[in-house]
Amino acid sequence: MKRKISGVTIELRKGDITRQKDCEAVVNAANARLQTGGGVAGAIHKAAGPQLEKEAVPLGPLEPGEAVITGAFELPNRYVIHCLGPVYGKDKPEAELLANCYSNALDLAEEHRLPSIAFPAISTGIFGYPIEEAARVAITTIIGKITEIKHLKNIVFVLYSSKDLEVYEKILEQIL
Ligand code: AR6
């Protein structure tokens, strides 16, 4: 599903974040120390190779909501933007911290004049954020900043399951 808003295409895609060849940056659902881990972080570090950890770790530790940018090494992208999402029920206010991830990642992409970025559903795996609530925060944050965007042309949400994709589709329809 694709929707164009103020000249920016928002696309919802089912897939693996490590296989987004047409995106200049991919976003990592990182841990505070910017090390490899499970879920998205494990997949991104495995696909990028050990140089990713070498570049990323000295930029940490991150606080929830923060984002940093590194090269993408063996990934088919130019950059990885690492965001630390909130742990649901622990890091509060969680909606604000999750919104900060999307907002800070967009700012980094704009600073680097990137035309495209792919986001996973940050915090909705190991960090336990319910997908529907997280999707609402992700989509409203991006749409809320869309008129500030100068360089990004494509913003992609990459969902790992059909169920998560359906949730995002429903919420994007509701919001527009
Ligand atoms: N591509 C796209 N989405 C994926 C992929 C993938 N390859 N793998 C999982 N997902 P998670 P978090 C989905 O747990 O909740 C790590 O260990 C997954 O289904 O990766 O922010 C870090 O080191 C879920 O919907 O991130 C941290 O310690 C979403 O991506 C911690 O987990 C996020 O799941 C971060 O937890």
141-152: pLDDT as tens digits:
999 999 999 999
CA of 125 to the centre of ligand 1 (A): 5
CA distances (Å), origin 174, targets 59, 76, 100: 38, 33, 22
66-75: per-residue pLDDT in tens?
999 999 999 9
Please tell me the pTM assigned to this model. 0.98
Residue by residue, DSSP assigns 24-38 as SEEEEE--TT----S
CA of 31 to the centre of ligand 1 (A): 10
11-67: per-residue pLDDT in tens?
999 999 999 999 999 999 999 999 999 999 999 999 999 999 999 999 999 999 999
Kindly report the average pLDDT of the chain as a whole number. 98
Calpha distance 22→112 (Å, rounded): 17
CA of 121 to the centre of ligand 1 (A): 7
Atom number of ligand 1 nearest to Cα 85: 21
Query: Atom 27, ligand 1: which residue's CA is nearest?
Result: 31
pLDDT the model gives residue 168:
98
| ipTM score for this prediction | 0.99
